[in-house]
Amino acid sequence: MDGAWVYLVTGGCGFVGERIVELLSQQDYIKEVRVFDSVAREEVEKLSTATTRVTVMRGDICDSSVLLAAMQGVHVVIHTAAVVDYRNTVPFREMRAVNVGGTENVLRACCVLSIPYLLYTSSIAAVGPNTACEPMLRGNEDTEYSGEVELPYGKTKAMAEKIVLEANGKKLSNGGKLRTCIIRPNAVYGEKAEFLQELYLLAKASNGVMNYLEPENTERNLTYVGNVAWMHVLAARNFQLKPDLLAGQVYYSYDDTPAGKVFLVRHELLSSADPSVRLGSHIPYWKMWLMIQLHRIIRVILSPFWRPQPFLDLPALNTIITTFSYETDKASRHFGYKPLFTWPESRLRTAQWLKAAAGSLGPPQIHGKKN
């Protein structure tokens, strides 16, 4: 069936989703890549190649009838669509409706239409940190870590992970079997990364100084968006070649981006684009805690007349300062994953984009998005 596969990418116009679509369009075994997104952008169709057509379809995954129509004739679904909100600015009910309810709709459609493969894009936020802010130091996919997840966004991703894994092996309408697996990225950087734009604007507003919240001993992972996308492409392909091996599995995304002190990596990315950006100093926890409380009081007082820009909240702050890192080669062992882009290439591509975009950047927009 090579050359006749039809893929569907939900959220294919988002930060990670668009890169997945771009790489899928370059695979000669794929006939069509359908992009299903609530904020569909027609320019994504320009990613079409001589062998692979990219078709953009506008729709909401909460609308099961529209989703069902879009998934007709599809063989593989890569489900990236989600409301991404690390600052608790989106009502939990709305976020759950998309991240959990939308995932239930995708799984239901797979069973009705006998689509055998579903690859779900999750997040490390689905694992932790927990409300006790217990660290995870260089864990892997088998590391035991318990407790209620701190971030509301992480709670919805954990709920979605659970139903995706429970759906693995479910019977399809044609008598076949649904196979599901999960890719779990950490912080993703690269071209069009909004958090890098925001950090750059904040640094420029502080005379080029980039301060940071993480204590010196905090460890985190960063992964380049092109490598996260490439892992999806390889996993989806090998899902078809080695279904019993990948079915029911979870994979952390990784590459050779330096692990450990994430603020140093962020500074290297920003200073590569603008050498005037300097690394500043650590902002103490107590100072940020006071600022968060003060902001909450101001919002309550002024809410009848004016609502200030959303600000960091305590769950997000606690997540930032807690060590949560992993080391793994599971994707390499299971489906031969190797980063498509090296760290120097990832850094250069990111810096070139940020430098080009710097002139048109306005004030940072802090809100949840469907991707």
Three-class DSSP category at 324: strand
First to last CA, the chain: 30
**Omega of the bond leading into 129 within 30 degrees of 0 (cis):** yes
Residues 256, 249: Cα–Cα separation, whole Å: 22
Q: Which of 153, 189, 200, 251 is catalytic?
A: 153
Three-class DSSP category at 139: strand
Query: In the chain, which ranges are continuous DSSP H helix?
Result: 15-24, 64-70, 92-96, 102-113, 152-167, 194-205, 225-241, 243-246, 262-273, 285-302, 314-321, 330-335, 343-357
Are 104 and 163 in contact by the 8 Å Cβ rule? The answer is yes
Retrieve residue 353's tokens.
């984009």
Q: At what angle do helices 343-357 and 262-273 cross, to 10 degrees?
A: 50
Retrieve residue 217's tokens.
């001993």
For the question of residue 153 being annotated catalytic, the response is yes
Residue with tokens 């092996």: 169
For residue 326, how many C-alpha atoms fall within 13 Å in the half-sphere facing its CB?
27
Residues 130, 145: Cα–Cα separation, whole Å: 9
Residues paired with residue 282 on neighbouring β-strands, in sequence order: 212
Active-site amino acid positions? 153
